Structure 1
C-alpha cells in the first residue's frame, strides 16, 4: 500500500515541479528513486543484517569472557567518530574553554567537586548506576570492535590538572597569535594516549586574555567518541555554583498530523535522491584569498580561530520572528554574507554559485548519559542573491523544506548502520571520506542563566571540534554560534590557506556576519515586508 502511494506521489511531484518531466534532472531523480526503492534494499539489508549479527555475537562474547573488564561496546553512532585515528592529531576532539574571572583555581576543590557532582552523579536518588561510568574507562579493541574497558589505574588527579609550562608556556593570550597556538595545542597537538581515558580538564592560572588580566582558564577536552557537545554541556552545568541545565533542543518538523507523516515516509526515496543530486553533488568551493609575499604569514595546515560577541539574542529573535524563519536560518544568513564578501575580496566579484553548508541538528530526547545523539543537514547558500532579506527568506525556505522531510532522521539511521561495521571497514570509510561541505556551522544553545564558578563570572571564549583532518580538502570555515546567559558569541576557524593574515581575515568574516544581522535588524521596524520568496 505504502509503495503504491509513494509512486503516485513521486509522479505528482515531478509533474508539479518547476523542472519539466522530460528534462534529464527530473528523470534522473525519478529513475534513481525507483532503483533506490526496488534494488538497493534487497542487496544492502542482508549485508547490514549479517554485520549486525556479528556485532551482537561479539558483544555477547564480551559479556561472557570480559564481564569483569569491559563496561560495554561502543555505541555505533559514537564509533563513527573513530573513523579518524583517535590517537592522532586528526582525532575528533571536542574542546570547551571556560574563562573564570579570578586569578587562581582551587584545584583540590575542583577535583573534589567533579568527583561528587559528576563522577558519582546518578539520575535520581533511587538509581544505583552512575550516569557517566565511561569517564573511568579507556577505549580498546576486541575482536574487531571498540569497547569501553575500566581503567584499573584511574586517578582523577591525572585527568584534572594544571597545564604545565613545559607543555605550553605561559604567554599573553590577549595576543591573537598566542591564543591560536593554545587552540591548536589543545585541539590538535596534544594527543590522546592509549590506555588512558579520552578526556581531561586542564587549568591555567593568572593569564591575560582579551577580557583582562589575572584570569583563569579551564580547558575541557574530550574525544568525540566519548560524547557529543550536548553531553559535555550537561556535565559542565553540574560544576557551576547554581545548577543550570541547558534548554532542551528539538528538531522542528512540518508533520503535525498522522497522514503527512505517512506521506513523507513514502516520498523518502524521492527526497533522498533529489537532495543527493541537487545539494550533495554540488562541489563549488569558496575562493581562497590571493596570496602575496606580504600576506603569506601563516602555515597552511595550522588552524586559526577568532571569537567575537554578536547582536543581542533578543534582537536576533526579533529578526527571526519578523521574517518567520528559524534561528538557524538567521545565523546562516550571516555566514552567507561573509562568503559573499570572500568572493568579492578574493575573486573580485560575486558569482551565482551556491555554496554547500553543513550543520548539526539536535535530535529530540537526548539520553541522560554520555553519547552522541545528533543529526546533520546540508543546504545550498544563495550567494548570488543581492538582497539581504531575500537571502534570508531563501535560506528559511530551504531549511523548512529539509525539515519537512525525514532526511535528518534517515541520516541518523545510516550513520548508526555504518557505525555497526567492524573497525577495519570503518577505517576504510575514514580514509576515503571527505567533508560534505566546505563550510560547517554549529549552533550551540547553552544555559540561559549567567554562569558562575566559586562566586566568579564565567565566559566561554571557545567551543569547537578539531578540524585538522580536513586540511587540503577545500574545507574553508568552521563556525560556531554559542549562547549562554542571554548573550551570544560567534567563533570562526580556518586553515592558513584561507586565513593568510589570521586576525584580519577571521575578523573580516565575523564582521560580515554581524553587519548582516545589524542590517536585517534595521528592517525589523518597517511597517511592511515584501512577500516571501519561494525557492
Structure 2
C-alpha cells in the first residue's frame, strides 16, 4: 500500500461530514445463529483486510487535498467491538443501539469503519442469534461498491484468495446485475449503460437547461422535516415486504418497482404527517435520489461513483393511484433530461472546489430537498459468513447539510425492507414513519395487486 490522493468524487462526500450529519453508512446484518467475536475477527482478517481501504486512514481529512495513507498502527480491536443487546431487547433494543451508533462520528486517526457484534438478537425462526452493525464512512465507497465487498466476503463467492480479485468473477457480476434489475434500478437506465448520461448532456442546450432548472428549483413544502439538524439520530425499519407484491402493484398500474416504492414513501409520509396533526393538502416533499454511474464490471473498485436527481414526492395528493401516476411521470421526465449528468458533474467538481463553494452547493441542495431516498439491491440468495447464515440486511443512508431524513430501500432474496433514519429534532420516533410506510404499501397491494383494470385509486 502506498499513499494516494483521495479522488475528487470521494473528496466531495468526505467534505460533507459535519458535527450534526456524519457521512457514515450504517448497516445491520441479522444472523441466523450466534457468531463469536473470534469468528467475526477471522472473517474480517481473511476477507476484508485485503481491500486496501480497510487498512488505510485519511491524512488531513478537512483539507483541500486529503490523502489515503497506510495505518501503521492498525489495531483490529478498534474496529471489531463486542456488545450486548440493550434493554428492552428485541427490535426496539437493536434500534436504540443503531441510533446511538448513528449519532457517533467515526474517527479519522484510523481507517473509518467499525463492526459491532451484538448478541442476544432474535432470529427469524425465533432462536437467539447475533447481529453485526457495520459503520463505514461514505469516503470508502457507495452502496454498489459496498455490496460487492459483502458478496466477495461471503462464503458463496469467496474463492479463498488472500486479497480481493482485481475484477469480480462473472457469476458475482451476473448476480448483482440481476438483482439491480429486480430492484427497479432500470428506471434511470444507468446501471449497465452509464454512458447514456453523456449522450443526454451532448444534446444541444440540454446541460444549460438542466443547470437553469436546478437554480430555479423552488424549495419543497415547509414540513416538520425542515429546520436545523442536531447530532442525535434515530433509526427504525420495516418488516419484510414481498417483492412479488410490489411487482404486482406495478404491473397493475403500468409502473416500475422503484416507482411503486417511491409512491409508497409519498403515501407513508402523508399518513405520518396526518398522524401528527400536520397539514397534508398540497404538500410536496423533494427527495434527493442517488443513481449509479459505475459499469457493473467495475463494482469491485471501492469509492463513490454516483450522482443525485431530485424527485418531488406528491405527498399532498389524496389518491394513491394519482400519487403513483405523478411519481412515475416525474421519474420519467428526469430520465429524459440532462439533470443526472449535470448534478454528477457538480459533485465531481466540488471535491476540489474551495471550501466556501463546496458549502454553498451543499446548502443549495439541502434547501431544495427534505430527504435522501436510496434503493440498493442485495443478494438473491442466502449468504453465509464463515458458515453463519445472514437472514436479514438493512442499512441507513447518511444525509448532508440540514437534511434530516433518510429513507433506505433494500431488496434481498425476494423481500424488501425500508429503513428510516431521522434527526431526533425532526422525528423523535421514526418507527411511526416505518409503520406508515408498511400501512401505505399494504393498502396499495390490497387495492391493486390483483391487477383489476378498472380499480379506483385508494383514497385516505
TM-score, normalised with respect to structure 1: 0.70
Is the 2:56–2:70 contact (alpha carbons within 8 Å) kept by the matching residues of 1? yes
Once the two structures are superposed, the pairs formed by residues 30-429 of structure 1 within 5 Å of their partners are 70-85=2-17, 88=19, 90-105=21-36, 107-120=37-50, 132-141=51-60, 144-155=64-75, 157-158=76-77, 160-164=79-83, 170-174=86-90, 176=92, 178-189=93-104, 191-208=105-122, 212-243=126-157, 245=172, 247-248=176-177, 249=180, 252-253=188-189, 261=200, 264-277=203-216, 280-287=217-224, 302-347=232-277, 350-365=280-295, 367=298, 368-421=300-353, 426=358
The residue matched to 1:202 in structure 2 has which SS? strand
RMSD (CA atoms): 3.6
Q: How far does residue 148 in structure 1 lie from its aligned partner after superposition? A: 0.3
The 2-side partners of 1:488 and 1:495 are apart by 23
Cα distance in 1, alignment partners of residues 213 and 108 from structure 2 = 43
Structure 1 residue 288 displacement after superposition = 7.1
Give 1 or 2 for the bigger CA radius of gyration: 1
Give the Cα separation in 2 of the matches to 1:309 and 1:344.
Answer: 22
In structure 2, C-alpha distance between the alignment counterparts of 1:320 and 1:91, rounded to whole Å? 35
Q: How does the TM-score come out when normalised to structure 2?
A: 0.80
The aligned counterpart of 1:526 is: 452
Pick aligned residue for 1:515 from 431, 442, 455: 442
Describe the shift of the 1:237–1:171 C-alpha distance in structure 2 as closer, same or farther (beyond 3 A). farther
**Structure 1, unpaired ranges of 5+:** 1-68, 121-131, 290-298, 531-535
Structure-2 residue corresponding to 1:533? none
Deviation at 1:183, TM superposition (A): 1.2
**Greater displacement, 324-333 / 379-388:** 379-388
SS where residue 103 of structure 2 aligns?
Answer: helix
User: Helix, strand or coil for the counterpart of 2:249?
Assistant: helix
Partner in structure 2 of residue 21 of structure 1: none
Q: Single out whichever of 338-347 and 255-264 deviates more from structure 2.
A: 255-264
| Pairs within 5 Å for 1:462-481 | 462-467=394-399, 473=402, 475=403, 477-481=405-409
**Cross-structure match for 1:482:** 410
| Change over 3 Å in CA distance of 1:194–1:488 after alignment to 2 | closer
Cα offset for 1:435? 5.3
d(CA) in 2 for partners of 1:429, 1:409? 16
Pairwise CA distance, 1:484: 1.0
The Cα offsets for residues 453-501 of structure 1, whole Å up to 9 and x where unpaired, read as 344431335301345x66xx4x463211111111111122223344355
> C-alpha distance in 2, partners of 1:435/1:210?
41
Q: Using the alignment, how far apart are the partners of 1:153 and 1:259 within structure 2?
A: 43
SS at match of 1:180: helix
- Does the CA-based 8 Å contact 1:146-1:423 persist in structure 2? no
CA distance in 1, matches of 2:230, 2:143: 27
1-structure distance, mates of 2:425, 2:65: 37
Q: CA deviation at 1:138?
A: 0.9
